[in-house]
A = this chain, B = another copy of it.
C-alpha cells in the first residue's frame, strides 16, 4: 500500500466514529465493493432429488400438524447462500396435504401460485371462486386475494407453493390478514373468471374493465400441455428449446406481475447452448431424464427433482434420452426484474 493510500485509509478510519454519531459515514477500505463488475450472487445452485423429497415429505406428513400460524404443512426448499428463501426473491415449498385437511383462509401482499405435482381432489377458493386442482394445473393467488384449500380426495396430495416473500421483504411491504372462518364462502358463480377468460383467446364483448390483476386464476394442465406439444414442433430456442410462459390474457403480461411461470420441453437428445441472465429460476422436472450444467456443476435430474439457478450463473440443459422429450415447469423472477429495468441476458 503506498503512503498516500495509507494516509487516506488512516484519515477515513479516524473519521468513522465522529461520522457515525451523526448517522453518516464515508467509504472505508474494509468495506466490500460498492459495485461489482457483474452480479456476485450469494445464492448457490442447488439440486433436490425426488427420492429424498418423497421420503422427507412422507415423514413430515406423519409427524407434523398443519402449522399453527400460516396453517400450511410445507417442506421449504432452502439455499445455503441465503439467509432465507429459495432464491433472492422467491420462496418455493412443497405443500403436503392429507385427505380431509383444510389450509385455512388468509391473504397477503406476496403473490403466490400453486403447481399441482401429484394427486387430485383438492379444491381451492380464491376470492370466492372455487376450482378443483388436479395434477399439472397452475393456480394463481395474486397479491391480496383471499385463498384457502380443502383436500376432498382420499390420497395425500402434494403441490409446489411459490411466493415472492423475499422480494416483498426487500421492499419492506409485507401485509397479512387471517380470516375468522377457515373457508371462504363460495360465490354464486364458482368459476366465473375461468369461464370468462380461460380460453385465452376471447373475452366478454362488453367487458370494459381493465383489471389491475390478472382475472384468470387457473391454467389447466390439459391446455398448457397441448400448447407445449404444438410449439415443440417448431425449431428450438437455442437456450431453452421449447419454453412457453403463462400469460395474463388481458394484457399479454406475465400471469403474475412479479413471478414468471413457464412450461419447458427438451426434445430427445437436445443439448442447449449455455447462457446467463439476471434473475433466478426454480425448476421442477415433470418427466424425463437429463442434466443441467450450472457454472460448471452438472446436476443429473429425473422426474420429480427440483433445481435452482442463481442470478447470472451460466447454464445449459441436456435431455439424456434419445427418444423421449423431457418436460419441466419453472418459476422465475424475470417479470419483477423487467419492470425495474434490471433484466439482462447474454450467451455464454
Contact = CB atoms under 8 A, between A and B. Distances in A.
Interface residues of A, number: 127
Interface stretch (A119-127, A149-157, A288-296, A332-340): A332-340
A80 B224 CA distance: 48
Contact of A63 (B11, B25, B41, B52): B11
A231 interface: yes
Given A15-B60, A60-B15, A70-B27, A39 B204 contact: no
B11 A311 contact: no
Interface string A32-67: 011111111111001010001100100110011101
Given A201-B246, A205-B262, A264-B205, A41 B251 contact: no
A196 B249 contact: no
A8 interface: yes
A305 to B, nearest CB: 12
Contacts of A249: 200-201, 247, 249, 252
Nearest to A79: B23
Contacts of A251: 251-252
Interface string A228-250: 10110111010110011111111
A344 B205 contact: no
A68 B171 contact: no
A55 B24 CA distance: 12
A219 B201 contact: yes
Nearest to A38: B175
A176 interface: yes
A203 B68 contact: no
Interface in A121-145: 143
A199 interface: yes
A8 B302 CA distance: 33
Nearest to A34: B70
A49 to B, nearest CB: 8
B340 A195 contact: no
B39 A172 contact: yes
A314 interface: no
Interface string A202-231: 111110000011001001000110111011
Given A27-B74, A200-B200, 20 more contacts: A15-B60, A15-B63, A15-B64, A35-B108, A35-B165, A35-B174, A35-B176, A36-B175, A39-B172, A88-B170, A168-B342, A170-B171, A173-B278, A189-B235, A198-B230, A204-B237, A204-B245, A205-B243, A206-B237, A206-B239
11 contacts: A19-B75, A27-B69, A35-B165, A38-B175, A88-B170, A89-B171, A192-B234, A196-B231, A199-B226, A201-B246, A339-B339
Interface of A: 4-5, 8, 11-12, 15, 18-20, 22-27, 33-43, 46, 48, 52-53, 56, 59-60, 63-65, 67-70, 74-80, 88-89, 108-111, 143, 165, 167-168, 170-177, 189, 192, 194-196, 198-206, 212-213, 216, 219, 223-224, 226-228, 230-231, 233-235, 237, 239-240, 243-252, 257-258, 260, 262-264, 278-280, 310-312, 333, 336-337, 339-344
